[in-house]
Amino acid sequence: MLCFWGAQVREGFELVKPDQVKHGKCGLRSLCPKTAVQDMSAGRIFAGFIRDGKVSVLRLRSEDYDHDGKLKQLQLKNKIRLIVCGADDAVLLSDSGKVLIMDKSTVCKPLKGLENRQVIQIACGDHHSVALTNDGQVFVWGENSHGQLGLRKDHPGSPSAQHVQSLSGVPLAQISAGGDHSFVLSLSGVVFGWGKNSAGQLGLGDTTDRHVPTVVNSLNRKKTVSISCGGEHTATLSKGGTVFTFGSGGRGQLGHKSFRDEHHPRVVAELWGSEVSQVTCGRHHTLVSVASSKMIYSFGCGMQGQLGNGEMIKQSVPFPVDLPTECNHDYTIEKIIAGENHSFALFFKELESKGKSNPSRPVLTLNDRMIDRWLSGTDPWATIKQEINTVFSSAASLNGSFLKTSCDDHYQTSEDHCGLDFDLVKSSFAKLSGNKSLISEVVKVVQQTLLPSLNPNPVGVESLRVYLLLPELIRRLKKQKTELTEALASKILQLDPDSHKVLEKYWSKLPDDWLNSLVKLFHNASAELIEQISCDEMDCDLTRRLKKFLKILQMIYQVCCSANRDIPNRDFIIHEISDLLDTLQATLDKLFLPVLGFVLSDDLEDMVKLKDYCFETINILVKFPFVADTVSKKKMFCYLQVLFQSLPDPHRIILNGNVLHINRESVLTDTLKYLRQKTHAFRYPLQVTFIGENGVDMRGLSAEFFFLLSQSLVKWEKKVLEIHESSLVWFNPDGMQANRDFYYLGVICGMALYNHHYINIDFPLALFKKLLQQSPTLNDLEELSPVEARTLKSLLEEDEDEVVDMFSFDFTVNGEKLIPNGDQIRVTKANRQKYVDLYVDFVFNKSVKKQFEHFSRGFFKGCPLDAWSMFHPEELQELLHGSPKYEWKELQQCASYEKCSASDELIKNFWTVFFELSEENKKKFLIFLYGTDRVPVGGFSKRSLKILLLECPDADDRLPEAQTCFGRLILPKYSDTNTLRDKLIHVINFCKVFGRA
């Protein structure tokens, strides 16, 4: 049954004979043609009807026509399932998804630009139209006077369909068009509008036209399920039945008890609680239906009876339409239509199938049922391939897949919530990847179509779901995994900054297994490329590709750090980097002489290219330090030093270099004297000479120098350093007069780091955090001053206000005010966290601000290569202090032997004696052998130990000797264990001059 009311029309539209039209109250008429009306539309000059796939149109009386025309059936080859009328034309949609344009003379022609597309929805404004395809793409055509096509401001309009590329990734549920404005609605209820906005009909809070799709933020998370556009107003319907209206209100069409415009979406309060099921906008009036009560309400312009309540007025609140009595019994409201000055309602009997009047179809999305159907093999392979191509070639289709529908979760999609059902995605892709034919077809479509089509500037956060889905799909592949991972990485890196931020937020909230899989995907791809680079002599393309993966890993790593995700740092470390660095080192060794650095090859140009390639590869790795372990980072630091030292230096003093002449009895004094010189060559390796002693510094002498210097520094006047209860040292807060000393201390520490030596000064981890521009915490204070920190922790942990008051703290530290008037502000339960934060900041920052500034400036001077910033604070501390782990068995395991073997009796006796030594004497042995008791990063395995057996007649009269530079122990062949023990203990306790006693 079709009910209609409003402006006068030909009786029954010629769908039935005039005497078969039933007249009800308030001008309502109804009819029941033999062939039921499946769908209809009414515009300014046409009304169109679809019955059994055939279209009939009727010209309506208007300004140009003073009478109604006759009903005309269009002679079309294909069945039509949808008609939408504009101001003076109409758009038809066939069952096969083809679009026809009907002009004023009712001539129909195919629309150009959609020949290979299957359209599922159409919408018309006055002079523009919108179409939605089955893969979620939006096409527009017509005039663009106000930007209603959504293409760009200067686009002149088009008679053929144009793709709205900005919406290409948005999973859409509906399209709508009004006078000169357009809207689309996403599956998760996000509303996008564009076009004319003179009355605020876009709901954006202003009256400025928009030429591109723009999110109506005030409708976010409102669970919008339907939208309708009028001449200059818009209405939306939420899942719970709430109606919002906005735009022109001059005729009451907004239903807000007023006739003013609304620039923001506003609830129609009079409909609150009515559970509205449909809403539709005419030119200047609005209709809503409530399925549960079988009622239709109207508001707006009723001057021609289009409100259906017998009043020819402008009505600003919803009133019920006086429907025929039979509508309340056996019929249900299937569809309401509001036209120019007309209103219609399609009713179907309750026993008839639903959806007859809703020919619009949804965008094809992937779901578990579809995958099961593919796996069952019930459909022809051609059909399955077509569906795979449709879904997996479209970001919009994938972005609308696997939404979490429980509790309407996906309607909460925002920058913080992606709306995906991760468990469903995981199980579905697991099934899909288990079928070789299916996954092969999917991979082909993703690689050839989907990835190249991804928009770097997506509109709306829903467009980013594909970047969460693809890693889960790709990680299950056995072939082409790295290739697809690289293509995905490229697309992620091309995203605009705002999209990057949203994607990173999504990553930060991924389930643990998903986040781990994401890390593993890009980690494994990086490792594979690094292995290839290690095998190829020079391939710049490989390093370029590697950089993409490392950038993605860096994004994920930073997300994990900022979100405190429990992903261990070791999961990011790529162990293949160590082999790559060894390969690069071998290549560099072939290129340069060890000392002078001259190129060996006659083909200078090729050698220079190879050298540049090696260092460029290292430079890439340096920018992503989180993927390298400490040992690999140290290797990179060394390689960069070689490059750094080969660069031109206008201040280089070739004859003197960086040579330091030191007297053992005045190490600190001589060092400071050297540092006070006006020019230095810190960029070159330090060469130490002890005055009055023989020996060339091949790292042994400089190692011993820093050991001796450390002993002098810890005895430095209290004006520079102070020792805390933890035995750790920190800057003296009262040392303001010793600025130059803090600077020199920084230079010395920087020199030690740059020359790969150790300073035996026990600074806390906080120092290295500050050098790396990280903030120390209460835990750092606990390392430096355990008693102070425990007191502060107790303060934070107390639950009772009275106990907190018992601490009797104010906002001061040692008489220094932490805040203005701090001595007058008591610490309470409410402000205690602020007090603790200020306390920690005072100890590590405020109280030693100048001291640290001078130290830091000196550190940068002594270590002029800033690549040290790639280390973590703990790693930097270990590089300067040495490893705190003394694995003595490892020292034995890494030993090699000359003129003897590990099975010789003397060697067995030596190790027996060594392991009997006290911990202190073992460390003294290290000083004797290496000039320092520090353990290198990576343990003793990174240090050479060679034991040379010396056979001589007077062996028992000789002492062991050490060649410090080479880590060689010269061990006389003693006659018994006691002699060996006595000689070894003597030499390690009394050695003072370069490996001798």
pLDDT in tens, 538-555: 778 899 999 999 999 999
Provide the pLDDT for residue 351: 65
**Which has more confidence, 923 or 426?**
426
Q: Sorting pLDDT into bands at 50, 70 and 90, what band is 775?
A: very high
pLDDT score of 479 more than 90: no
Q: Domain check: are 693 and 626 in the same one?
A: no
Average of per-residue pLDDT across 792-820: 83
Q: Domain check: are 684 and 591 in the same one?
A: no
pLDDT, tens digit, 9 for 90 and up, residues 34-59: 999 999 999 999 999 999 999 999 99
pLDDT score of 651 more than 70: no
Provide the pLDDT for residue 359: 63
Total residues belonging to the chain: 997
Provide the pLDDT for residue 50: 96
Residue 959 structural domain: 888-990
Provide the pLDDT for residue 356: 52
Q: Sorting pLDDT into bands at 50, 70 and 90, what band is 396?
A: very high
Instruction: Of 586-590, 764-768, 898-902, give the lowest mean pLDDT range.
Output: 586-590
In a domain? residue 42: no
Spatial separation of the C-alpha atoms in residues 713 and 497, rounded to whole Å: 49
Provide the pLDDT for residue 649: 62
pLDDT score of 80 more than 90: yes
Question: Which sign does the torsion angle of CA 371, 373, 376, 379 carry?
Answer: negative
Instruction: Of 178-187, 649-658, 829-838, 880-889, give the lowest mean pLDDT range.
Output: 649-658
Q: Which helix (H) or strand (E) holds 524?
A: helix 512-535
pLDDT, tens digit, 9 for 90 and up, residues 404-460: 998 899 999 999 999 999 999 999 999 999 999 999 999 999 999 999 999 999 999
Q: Sorting pLDDT into bands at 50, 70 and 90, what band is 144?
A: very high
- CA 393 to the chain's CA centroid: 23
In a domain? residue 712: yes
Q: What are the distances in angstroms from CA 199 to CA 195, 258, 660, 680, 917?
A: 12, 15, 81, 73, 91
Q: Domain check: are 951 and 871 in the same one?
A: no
Q: Domain check: are 953 and 985 in the same one?
A: yes
Conformation bin of residue 290: beta by default, left when phi > 0, alpha when psi is -120 to 50:
beta
| CA diameter of the chain | 139
In a domain? residue 652: no
- Which of the listed residues 831, 853, 881 is the one where a domain comes to its end? 881
Q: Domain check: are 756 and 867 in the same one?
A: yes
CB 301 within 8 A of CB 292: no
Provide the pLDDT for residue 357: 52
Q: Which helix (H) or strand (E) holds 729?
A: strand 729-731
Active site residues: 965
Provide the pLDDT for residue 425: 97
Spatial separation of the C-alpha atoms in residues 904 and 971, rounded to whole Å: 13
Average of per-residue pLDDT across 906-910: 92
In a domain? residue 864: yes
Average of per-residue pLDDT across 270-291: 95
Spatial separation of the C-alpha atoms in residues 946 and 505, rounded to whole Å: 54
Spatial separation of the C-alpha atoms in residues 133 and 98, rounded to whole Å: 10
Q: Domain check: are 671 and 750 in the same one?
A: yes
- DSSP annotation of 450 reads I
CB 148 within 8 A of CB 181: yes
pLDDT, tens digit, 9 for 90 and up, residues 127-138: 999 999 999 999
**Going by C-beta distance under 8 Å and a sequence separation of 6 or more, which residues neighbour residue 83?**
39, 40, 41, 48, 49, 50, 55, 90, 91, 92, 93
- Which of the listed residues 423, 445, 472 is the one where a domain comes to its end? 472
pLDDT, tens digit, 9 for 90 and up, residues 606-643: 777 887 888 888 889 989 999 999 989 988 998 888 77
Q: Which of 767, 699, 689, 758 is nearest to 730 (CA)?
A: 767
In a domain? residue 93: no
Provide the pLDDT for residue 439: 96
The CATH code of the domain that includes 900 is: 3.30.2410.10
What's the total number of domains in the chain?
Answer: 4
- Which of the listed residues 445, 472, 499 is the one where a domain comes to its end? 472
Spatial separation of the C-alpha atoms in residues 678 and 653, rounded to whole Å: 12
Average pLDDT of the chain?
90
Question: Phi, psi at residue 722, to the nearest 5°?
Answer: -135, 140
Average of per-residue pLDDT across 177-190: 97
Question: Which sign does the torsion angle of CA 256, 262, 264, 265 carry?
Answer: positive
In a domain? residue 616: yes
pLDDT score of 994 more than 50: no
Provide the pLDDT for residue 993: 45
Q: Domain check: are 389 and 424 in the same one?
A: yes
In a domain? residue 619: yes
Average of per-residue pLDDT across 677-686: 83
Conformation bin of residue 584: beta by default, left when phi > 0, alpha when psi is -120 to 50:
alpha
Q: Domain check: are 623 and 738 in the same one?
A: no
Average of per-residue pLDDT across 783-798: 91
Q: What are the distances in angstroms from CA 623 to CA 232, 233, 823?
A: 55, 54, 47
**Going by C-beta distance under 8 Å and a sequence separation of 6 or more, which residues neighbour residue 23?**
29
pLDDT score of 140 more than 60: yes
Q: Sorting pLDDT into bands at 50, 70 and 90, what band is 997?
A: very low
pLDDT score of 886 more than 50: yes
- SS3 assignment, position 563: coil
Average of per-residue pLDDT across 244-256: 98
Spatial separation of the C-alpha atoms in residues 32 and 343, rounded to whole Å: 17
Only one residue has tokens 């530290």, namely: 813
Q: Domain check: are 694 and 758 in the same one?
A: yes
Average of per-residue pLDDT across 245-261: 97
**Which has more confidence, 888 or 467?**
467
Q: Sorting pLDDT into bands at 50, 70 and 90, what band is 19?
A: confident
The CA dihedral of 908, 913, 918, 924, to the nearest 10 degrees, is: -90
pLDDT score of 568 more than 80: yes
Spatial separation of the C-alpha atoms in residues 325 and 485, rounded to whole Å: 64
Question: Which sign does the torsion angle of CA 292, 298, 304, 305 carry?
Answer: positive
∠ CA 141-147-152, nearest 5°, is: 85
**Over the Cα atoms of the chain, what is R_g?**
41
Q: What are the distances in angstroms from CA 840 to CA 207, 564, 701, 809, 818?
A: 52, 22, 40, 15, 10
Q: Domain check: are 760 and 861 in the same one?
A: yes
Average of per-residue pLDDT across 775-783: 95
CB 628 within 8 A of CB 646: no
Q: What is the model's pTM? A: 0.85
Q: Sorting pLDDT into bands at 50, 70 and 90, what band is 656?
A: low
Q: Which of 787, 786, 767 is nearest to 776 (CA)?
A: 767
Question: Phi, psi at residue 222, to the nearest 5°?
Answer: -95, 5
The CATH code of the domain that includes 758 is: 3.90.1750.10
Q: Domain check: are 717 and 738 in the same one?
A: yes
Q: Which of 784, 785, 789 is nearest to 764 (CA)?
A: 784
In a domain? residue 189: no
Pairing of strands 895-898, 945-950: parallel
pLDDT score of 599 more than 80: no
Q: Sorting pLDDT into bands at 50, 70 and 90, what band is 806?
A: low
Q: Domain check: are 866 and 768 in the same one?
A: yes
Q: Sorting pLDDT into bands at 50, 70 and 90, what band is 490?
A: very high
